[in-house]
Amino acid sequence: MSIGVVSTGVYIPETYITGQEIAEKANLPIAVVETKLGIKRKAVPGQDDHTCEMGIRAAERALKEAGMTGKDIDLVIYIGEEYKEYPLWTAALKTQEAIGAHHAWGFDTALRCGTTIMALKLAKSLMLTDDDIKTVLLAGGYRNGDFIDYSNERTRFMLNLGAGGGALILQKGNNKNMLLESHIMTDGSFSEDVVVTAGGTKNPITIRELELGTNRLDVIDPVGMKKRLEQKSMDNFLSVIRKSLHKSGKEESDISYVAMLHMKKSAHDFVLRKLGLTENHSIYLEEYGHIGQIDQILSLKLAEERGKIKSGDVVVLVSAGIGYAWGATTMIWGTEEGLT
**pLDDT tens figures, 49-92:** 999 999 999 999 999 999 999 999 999 999 999 999 999 999 99
Q: What confidence category does residue 338 fall into, taking pLDDT thresholds of 50, 70 and 90?
A: very low
The whole-number pLDDT of residue 226 equals 87
Find the mean pLDDT for residues 19-34.
Answer: 98
The whole-number pLDDT of residue 70 equals 98
CA nearest 196: which of 207, 183, 205? 205
Report percent pLDDT > 90 for the chain: 95
Find the mean pLDDT for residues 203-217.
Answer: 94
The whole-number pLDDT of residue 27 equals 97
Find the mean pLDDT for residues 37-55.
Answer: 98
With 0-12 / 13-18 / 19 or more C-beta atoms within 10 angstroms meaning exposed / middle / buried, residue 337 is: exposed
**Is residue 29 helix, strand or coil?**
coil
Q: Does residue 138 contact residue 111 with C-beta atoms inside 8 Å?
A: no
pTM: 0.97
Q: What confidence category does residue 339 fall into, taking pLDDT thresholds of 50, 70 and 90?
A: low
Residues 6 or more apart in contact with residue 277 via CB below 8 angstroms: 255, 258
CA nearest 332: which of 244, 204, 216? 244
The whole-number pLDDT of residue 337 equals 65
pLDDT at 230 over 90: no
Please give the domain boundaries of the chain with CATH numbers for all domains: 3-175 (3.40.47.10), 180-332 (3.40.47.10)
The whole-number pLDDT of residue 231 equals 82
**Buried b / exposed e across 114-130, counting CB within 10 Å, b at 16+?**
bbbbbbbbbbbebbeee
Q: How far apart are CA 97 and CA 100, in angstroms?
A: 5
Which position has the higher pLDDT, 313 or 231?
313
Find the mean pLDDT for residues 98-104.
Answer: 97
The whole-number pLDDT of residue 336 equals 77
The helix or strand, by DSSP H or E, that contains position 248, with its residue range, turns out to be: none
The whole-number pLDDT of residue 227 equals 86
pLDDT at 47 over 60: yes
